[in-house]
Chains A and B, each alone.
Chain A
Amino acid sequence: MKNNPDLSVSVSGLQFRNPVITASGTFGYGIEFSPFFDLSLLGGICTKGISLEPRPGNNPGRIIETPSGMLNAIGLENVGVQSFIDDKLPGLDGYDTHIIANILGKSVDEFVEITERLNPCAKVSALEINISCPNVAQGGLQFSQDPEMAAQVTRAVKEISVKPVWVKLSPNVTDISSFARACEDAGADALTLVNTFVGMSIDVHRRRPMLSNVIGGLSGPAIRPLAVRLVYQASRAVAIPVVGIGGIVSARDALEFIIAGATAVQVGTANFIDPLASVKILEGLETYCREQGISNIRELVGSLELPGPDGFVYY
């Protein structure tokens, strides 16, 4: 193929130069990766979840590696929205990539206030509502467990936001489609799925939890098949774009999500394993398209070939 494949995608009315976005909580405030590569190569950056006030996070004993994954209970440590605006965002000024601010709150009012504070920030392209952090008593988990509550916070943020609103859904639910539809009906411009799976690990010799928070969020390749299934189902339940995330460490993994129905993908835990992971995934996507004769990556979105009209229902 002579020409470079077109990797650009459109999500929530924004044009992304490629579908590779780095995931919230795995990429700091972006600038931390500037020593490693040119951040403008990325489709976008989701920044560390920010709350109204700074949060110190949980006690030590925050992470533990598990088979093909890791559990974390960071506890939403972040600098707070004001420091994010004053100290962190300016560091990204020179980079031409979409910044998606991940926001979290204990109440609808808090989400609304953060949204108001971010409205004037030109550098922020979109908001990603984090309704699904499992690691603090009131991390917004209640919003992730009831489609009505998820819709309520989505509606409130959407009402006042001047930017597109994405909602990051929890996988720890029985029926993902009902959450996806509830958020779409409430005005969400895109859905990100999935956040981490709630998990736990025990030191059997001391009979103590490995994490100070006892439970944490599981990420990494271990959750990938679970996440692909959820993206597949959610993307068929809604018309808005789905951004797929869950254990992507290679271009092959990203393609699974795209073929399942994701318009873009987020790279998370892989950033810890290799600071250059997101760029390597991007290069891998380009190579795949070239080798497969695909001129436009959008052709691949939801291109899964099913054995029957509805696919297999039983497993």
Chain B
Amino acid sequence: MIYTTSGEILEHRQLAPETWVLKVRNAQIASQVKPGQFLMASIESKDETPSPILKRALAVYGTEREDLSLLIRIEGDGTRKLCQAAPGNNLNLVGPLGNGFDLERGVGRYSVIVAGGSGIASVYLLARELRRKGRDVCLVYGGRNALDLAGLEDFQALKIPVHTSTEDGSAGFHGMVTGALQQVLSGLDEAPLNIYTCGPNPMMREVSNIAKVNSIPCQLSVEIKMACGFGVCLGCAVKTTEGNRLACTQGPVFDASRFIWEDFAGNREERS
């Protein structure tokens, strides 16, 4: 069931220089969302023509009874306005959307979650659900610097091993998250049974390569611009070995071994 609904912002809190978390009341989505699913959100407004006009695709970061939280990184006007939306405002929501992570495939001893930057937003529910199922899981989480590692304490509260990396060396492994992943993998007695990853495309591409070299099944959650989120604008097509697939309805989670990175630049404007 996809709901066209709304939810009041109960709380907004800054987690990192460019990252905020919004707590939103919506029991329908909060009770039904699965790890890795997302929703489309915009700020409810009386404006005849709101700006921006399109909703933004956002992972559901966490849930707590009838509330859900959205961890949002400022990427442009739309995400900045969402981050700054004060409690008391309502969000227009469409969701839950997408396939989510497959938790049953490759059920085994150990899973590694690899997140980069705002990719962390897609994997908290996953970590929590894996823990709830009694499965072992660790998080490898990279950012630009120590301040950038939004949400770290939420994962620590799940009592799972957390390995961090920063590009400037201000916390954890000094370098890219893929370097930290290599280090974690080499410290394990046996190969983990799953890698789940979400983050910038170059990072996920490298994580996919590492998974392939080590023969570890890997699921990636792709981030790409969407206009609708429910399969009609056809704007979020990605290439797979099975042909074009829509990230909104056939993703956003894809088997890394079937994902074709060639030509996949995405089209986010890079900021200097």
Q: Is B1 in the interface zone, CB < 8 Å from A?
A: yes
Q: With A32-B232, A57-B234, A74-B235 in contact, is A274–B265 under 8 Å at CB? A: no
B53 and A60 form a contact (CB under 8 A): no
Q: With A203-B267, A220-B53 in contact, is A60–B230 under 8 Å at CB? A: no
One of A25, A36, A60 near B4 (C-beta < 8 A)? A36
Seed contacts A210-B267, A274-B92; 18 additional CB < 8 Å A-B pairs: A32-B231, A36-B4, A59-B239, A60-B224, A60-B239, A60-B267, A62-B235, A63-B225, A63-B227, A65-B52, A67-B51, A70-B227, A72-B233, A74-B237, A208-B265, A272-B54, A274-B4, A276-B4
Give the docked Cα–Cα distance between A28 and B224 (Å): 20
Give the docked Cα–Cα distance between A58 and B239 (Å): 10
Number of interface residues of B (CB under 8 A): 40
Give the docked Cα–Cα distance between A209 and B241 (Å): 26
Chain A nearest CB from B64 CB (Å) reads 26
B237 and A60 form a contact (CB under 8 A): yes
Chain B residue numbers with a CB within 8 Å of A210 are 267, 269
Q: Which residue of the partner chain A has the closest CB to B263?
A: A59
Give the docked Cα–Cα distance between A313 and B244 (Å): 49
Give the docked Cα–Cα distance between A72 and B236 (Å): 11
B230 and A275 form a contact (CB under 8 A): yes
Q: Is A293 in the interface zone, CB < 8 Å from B?
A: no
B230 and A32 form a contact (CB under 8 A): yes
A211 and B94 form a contact (CB under 8 A): no
A61 and B265 form a contact (CB under 8 A): yes
Q: Would you list 8 pairs from A and B whose C-beta atoms are within 8 A, ordered by A residue?
A: A32-B230, A60-B224, A60-B264, A77-B237, A203-B267, A274-B92, A275-B4, A275-B94
Q: Is A183 in the interface zone, CB < 8 Å from B?
A: no
Which 4 interchain pairs have the tightest Cβ spacing? A63-B235, A272-B228, A28-B232, A272-B227
Give the docked Cα–Cα distance between A295 and B235 (Å): 41
Give the docked Cα–Cα distance between A57 and B267 (Å): 17
Q: Measuring CB to CB, which residues of chain B are less than 8 angstroms from any residue of chain A?
A: 1-2, 4, 42, 48-49, 51-55, 78, 92, 94, 224-228, 230-239, 243-244, 263-267, 269-272
Chain A residue numbers with a CB within 8 Å of B232 are 26-28, 32-33, 271-272
Give the docked Cα–Cα distance between A138 and B223 (Å): 31
Chain A nearest CB from B232 CB (Å) reads 4
A56 and B230 form a contact (CB under 8 A): no
B263 and A205 form a contact (CB under 8 A): no
Q: Is A206 in the interface zone, CB < 8 Å from B?
A: yes
Chain B nearest CB from A53 CB (Å) reads 14
One of B2, B49, B263 near A212 (C-beta < 8 A)? B263
Give the docked Cα–Cα distance between A241 and B48 (Å): 28
